[in-house]
Amino acid sequence: MNIIKYRKWWYLLSFIIILPGIISLALYGLRLSVDFTGGTIIEIEGTNDKTKIEEITKKANFENVTITENNNNLVIRSKVVTEENHKKFKTDLNKIKNVKEIRIETVGPSISKEITQRAFISIFLSSILIVLYLAYTFRKVPKPANSWTFGTTAVAGILHDALALLGIFSILGVLFNIEVDPLFITAVLTVIGFSVHDTVVIYDRIRENLIKGTSENFSEVVNRSIVEMLGRDLSTSFLAFIIVFILYLFGGDSIKYFVLTLVIGILLGTYSSIFNSASLLVTWQNYKDKKTKQLKS
């Protein structure tokens, strides 16, 4: 099995996976929850009449209102609701038989801005630390490999997974009104950790085979290392996928989209660690060899 031989096809497949998401992100962005945008969430039970509830929100001067269903309840999202407008809303709501408000949450703009900043900082710092850690761990890797190459290509695989996830959830937000909340960031960081683990397992076998020394060139060593670890990598990922998928089916609505992110992320992480990250090592090395020959000539 020659996985590295077809690396250009793996790059093309990744491009096909990511491109629709990039277009969706450019056109629509992510559908952000009030945790990121600031606003008020009100959940009511006892009715599925969205039209009637929308009329009540208009009378109470709610702004930018969206109404969705959640376990036979209605969830209202809007800009921050003042106490006075909330009282008007509850007064009209209580006039409807068997309908009542069961939850209200408000997140101010300053808090939402801080959450957003921390989310970006956490992803950026984790990427930097991964590069430094792998560069240190693989510092004794024999030539022609370079420890910084291992770290950089691992992060390239991570960025592939993160960008694909963002794009997929942008599309899901457009099609199914799925929102991104702080749990999504937690899931993305978890996926990054899973993807790095898979990549490091393969990279470590590449290092071992390089240290042993053979007549094979760098590309052949990388390919053999992937094949040797393929069964272990797929079985580990499959078990993790099954567990998370069952949790998605039976875990409840409160963590549904968090677990969905993990389900998609495990698939992406497994694919990128096997077909992309190791392939990038070879592409990078071939580029360096080509440049070296040009300089010598």
pLDDT of 92-117, one tens digit each?
999 998 999 999 988 776 666 777 77
Mean pLDDT rounded to a whole number for the chain:
88
Per-residue confidence (pLDDT) for residue 108, from 0 to 100: 74
Helix, strand or coil, per DSSP, at residue 130:
helix
Q: What is the pLDDT of residues 156-211, one digit of tens each?
A: 888 899 899 999 999 999 998 888 888 888 898 888 888 888 888 899 898 888 88
Side by side, the strands of the sheet bearing 66-70 are 66-70, 73-78, 39-45, 100-107
Cα gap 124→130, rounded to integer Å:
10
Query: Buried b / exposed e across 161-181, counting CB within 10 Å, b at 16+?
Result: bbbbbbbbbbbbbeeeebbbb
Per-residue confidence (pLDDT) for residue 293, from 0 to 100: 77
Q: How confident is the model at residue 26 (pLDDT cuts 50, 70, 90)?
A: very high
Per-residue confidence (pLDDT) for residue 111, from 0 to 100: 62
Looking at the predicted structure, is the pLDDT value of residue 267 above 90?
yes
Phi and psi for 274 in degrees, rounded to 5?
-85, -45
Cα gap 154→174, rounded to integer Å:
31
* Tokens coding 162: 């993160």
Phi and psi for 97 in degrees, rounded to 5?
-65, 135
83-93 and 50-59 helices cross at what angle (nearest 10)? 140
The domain spans of the chain are 4-32+111-296, 39-107
Task: Give the predicted TM-score (pTM) of the model.
Answer: 0.83
Per-residue confidence (pLDDT) for residue 69, from 0 to 100: 82
Q: What is the pLDDT of residues 37-58, one digit of tens each?
A: 888 999 999 998 899 999 999 9
User: Does the domain at residues 4-32+111-296 carry the CATH identifier 1.20.1640.10?
Assistant: yes
| Sequence-ordered list of residues with C-beta below 8 angstroms from that of 286, at least 6 positions apart, any chain | 219
Higher pLDDT, 274 or 110: 274
Looking at the predicted structure, is the pLDDT value of residue 152 above 90?
no
Per-residue confidence (pLDDT) for residue 110, from 0 to 100: 62
CATH of 39-107, one of 3.90.870.10, 3.40.50.720, 3.40.50.1100, 3.30.70.600: 3.30.70.600
Per-residue confidence (pLDDT) for residue 17, from 0 to 100: 93
Q: Which amino acid is present at 274?
A: I
Cα gap 31→177, rounded to integer Å:
7
Query: Do 4-32+111-296 and 39-107 have matching folds?
Result: no
Distances, alpha carbon 1 to alpha carbons 167, 227, 230, in Å: 31, 7, 11
Per-residue confidence (pLDDT) for residue 109, from 0 to 100: 64
Distance of CA 27 to the CA centre of its chain: 19
